[in-house]
Amino acid sequence: MGNITFTMIKPTAMNKGFAGKILEKITDGGFRIQAMKMLRMSKADAEKFYEVHKERPFYGELTEFMSSGPIVAAVLEKENAVEDYRKLIGATNPKDADEGTIRKLYATDIQANAVHGSDSDENALIEASFFFSKKEQFDKDGNLI
């Protein structure tokens, strides 16, 4: 049971001004922000980040979209973080997401689904280190991890 997950607030949700509301849902859900930044990925960054989906038909569109504007990237800490965060964000396709979940409230469609969330403890660590160095991650006392 890992204690971190990685998230991104995707370009459409940023563009619609939902970042503050999404971060509020995250902290109200009991997650502590261990690291956070706003940036725009290059197409190459997005291709590398989503490399596991390279063979999927939506890979080109997804990486184009994820590099189309700014995102917020963050590492979130909580007991059972990966599973609990997936519950908080809801199903990948917002049409299937439960009421009250972040995707139900703030997603546009399956691609612009408001947020990304890691699917395993192993991927959470890989994704966190894709965006953040050890000098950008803090424990609950404000010390570097």
| Bridging pattern class, strands 115-117 and 4-9 | antiparallel
Which of 27, 43, 58, 100 forms a contact with ligand CMP (CB under 6 A)? 58
Our finding on whether 19 is near ligand CMP (CB under 6 A) is: no
Our finding on whether 126 is near ligand CMP (CB under 6 A) is: no
Which of 25, 78, 103, 116 forms a contact with ligand CMP (CB under 6 A)? 116
Strands of the chain, DSSP E: 4-9, 32-39, 71-77, 115-117
Which residue, 61 or 139, is less far from ligand CMP as judged by CB?
Answer: 61
Our finding on whether 110 is near ligand CMP (CB under 6 A) is: yes
For residue 76, give the 3-state DSSP assignment. strand
DSSP states along 84-121: HHHHHH--SSGGGPPTTSHHHHH--SSSS-SEEE-SSH
Catalytic residue among 10, 25, 103, 116: 116
Q: Which residues bind ligand CMP (CB under 6 A)?
A: 53, 58, 62, 92, 110-111, 113, 116-117
